[in-house]
Amino acid sequence: MPAQDFAGRPVADFVKAFTSGTVAARDIVEGLLERCKRAEPFNPIATLDAEGARQTADALDARRKQGGKFGALAAVPVSAKDLILTKGLRTAFASLTMKDNVPTVDASAIGQWKAADAVLFAKTTTPEFGHKVLTDSRLHGITRNPWNRAHTSGGSSGGAAVSVALGVGPIAMSTDGAGSGRIPAACCGVYGLKATLGRVPHEVPPDQFGQLTYLGVMARHPADLGAGLASMSRGHPDDPWTAAIGRTPFAWPQDGGQSPIAGQRVTVIRRMTGGYLDPDTEARLDAALAFLDRQGARIREMDGREIDWKLDVARIILRANQIERFGEILKTRRGDLDVSFAKTLDEGEAIDVVMLRRALADRTTAYKSVQRLFGDCDLLLTPTVATPAPLATQDQFAPLVVDGKPIGDLRAAWYTYTIPFNMTGHPAISIPFGQSKAGLPIGLQFVAPWYAEAHLIRLAEAFDAETHASALFPPGFAP
* Contact between 201 and 246 (Cβ < 8 Å): yes
* Most distant CA pair in the chain, distance: 65
Helix (H, G, I), strand (E, B) or coil at 196: coil
| AA letter at 88 | G
- What pLDDT is stored for residue 73 in this prediction? 98
Q: What is the pLDDT of residue 248?
A: 85
The single-letter DSSP state of residue 73 is: T
Radius of gyration of the chain (CA): 21
Confidence at residue 244, expressed as pLDDT on a 0 to 100 scale:
80
pTM above 0.85, yes or no: yes
Quote the pLDDT of residue 1: 53
Cα 172 to chain centroid, rounded: 8
CATH of region 11-306+373-391+428-471, choose from 3.90.1300.10, 3.40.50.970, 1.10.150.120, 3.40.50.300: 3.90.1300.10
> Any residues with CB less than 8 A from the CB of 83 and at least 6 apart, and which?
91, 93, 94, 126, 129, 130, 156, 175
The sign one gets for the Cα dihedral 71, 73, 75, 77 is negative
Per-residue pLDDT of the chain (479 residues; tens, 9 = 90+): 578 999 999 999 999 999 999 999 999 999 999 999 999 999 999 999 999 999 999 999 999 999 989 999 999 999 999 999 999 999 999 999 999 999 999 999 999 999 999 999 999 999 999 999 999 999 999 999 999 999 999 999 999 999 999 999 999 999 999 999 999 999 999 999 999 999 999 999 999 999 899 999 999 999 999 999 999 999 999 999 999 887 789 999 987 778 999 999 999 999 998 789 999 999 999 999 999 999 999 999 999 989 999 999 999 999 999 999 999 999 999 999 999 999 999 999 999 999 999 999 999 999 999 999 999 999 999 999 999 999 999 999 999 999 999 999 999 999 999 999 999 999 999 999 999 999 999 999 999 999 999 999 999 999 999 999 999 999 999 99
- Write the CA distances from 329 to 48, 204, 345, 369, 404, integer angstroms: 27, 18, 10, 37, 38
According to the model, what pLDDT value does residue 428 have?
Answer: 99
Non-local (6+) Cβ contacts of 264 within 8 A are 297, 298, 378, 379
- Measured CA distances, 391 to 133, 143, 147, 154, 382 (Å): 12, 11, 12, 10, 23
Residue 85 CA to residue 87 CA, distance in Å, equals: 7
What are the boundaries of each domain within the chain? 11-306+373-391+428-471
Nearest to 25 by CA among 120, 95, 150: 120
